[in-house]
Amino acid sequence: MKKLLFILLWLPGLVLAAPSNYPLDRVAVDPSDQPSLQRGAQLYMNYCMGCHSLQFQRYNRFARDAGVPEELVMEHLIFDPEIEIGALMTIPMSSAAATDWFGGVAPPDLSLITRSTSNAYVYTYLRTFYSDDSRPFGTNNPVVENSSMPNVLWQLQGLQEAVFNDAGDVVGFELVEPGLMTPEEFDVAMADLVNFMAYVAEPYKLDRERIGKWVLLYLALAFVVFYLLKKEYWKDVH
């Protein structure tokens, strides 16, 4: 009986998660770094928004948080004149059609992806697409093996081939065709992109931290006042 319970406990984990054990590269994010958020958003709009919506994010909220005038967001990030500055960052692609195009997997909404996975996961995933002729889009990825996502950043990164160990695991990469960016520049660009996505996953993070300081200060002051009050009330009792 105990054994059965134990197995049942582990079962959901076994079925849902198909984790690859590819080591993830850590990346530092900083939502107060506005130039990085702006560069990340630019990359997102140009290379990701065609397939992945950010359904909980509004353009004007981003404009405010990233310190960009709304006119500039309208000009450089919104490509459809029908879309207004207060709109959510949704896309017109229907998920049924998308499921069809990408062999059974629709591109997920990425509003919360850095929280449901991690910053390191997304950062590593974006930098590890490699050529693989056996896949429908000619590309594969060690973080999400047999991922249905095409290698949309190959013009920037160039094309790389994977180096395998004897067990068939990816252990490294070899750049076979350089892209518009050097590997160092590409890493910085992906860090900006992940910074933007981490910001979208928690846009109120900076507010939370700013307000939190005042709340703690208030509690500290209130403690002094209440302590003095308590002393005053109890002085005749003791």
Task: Report the interface residues with ligand HEC, using CB under 6 A.
Answer: 47-48, 50-52, 102, 105, 107-108, 110, 113, 117, 122, 125-126, 144, 147-150, 152-153, 193
Q: Please give the single-letter amino acid code of residue 205.
A: K
In the complex, least distance from residue 171 CB atom to ligand HEC, rounded to whole angstroms: 21
Nearer to ligand HEC, 70 or 99 (CB): 99
The CA distances from residue 202 to 31, 65, 111, 117, in Å, are 9, 12, 9, 14
Nearer to ligand HEC, 41 or 110 (CB): 110
Nearer to ligand HEC, 97 or 228 (CB): 97
CA distance 101 to 80: 23
HSE-CB of 25 using CA atoms within 13 angstroms: 14
Q: What spatial distance separates the first Cα and last Cα of the chain, rounded to whole Å? A: 60
Nearer to ligand HEC, 125 or 186 (CB): 125
CA distance 66 to 39: 10
Q: Please give the single-letter amino acid code of residue 206.
A: L
Nearer to ligand HEC, 116 or 231 (CB): 116
In the complex, least distance from residue 98 CB atom to ligand HEC, rounded to whole angstroms: 7
In the complex, least distance from residue 115 CB atom to ligand HEC, rounded to whole angstroms: 12
CA distance 166 to 164: 7
In the complex, least distance from residue 134 CB atom to ligand HEC, rounded to whole angstroms: 15
In the complex, least distance from residue 51 CB atom to ligand HEC, rounded to whole angstroms: 3
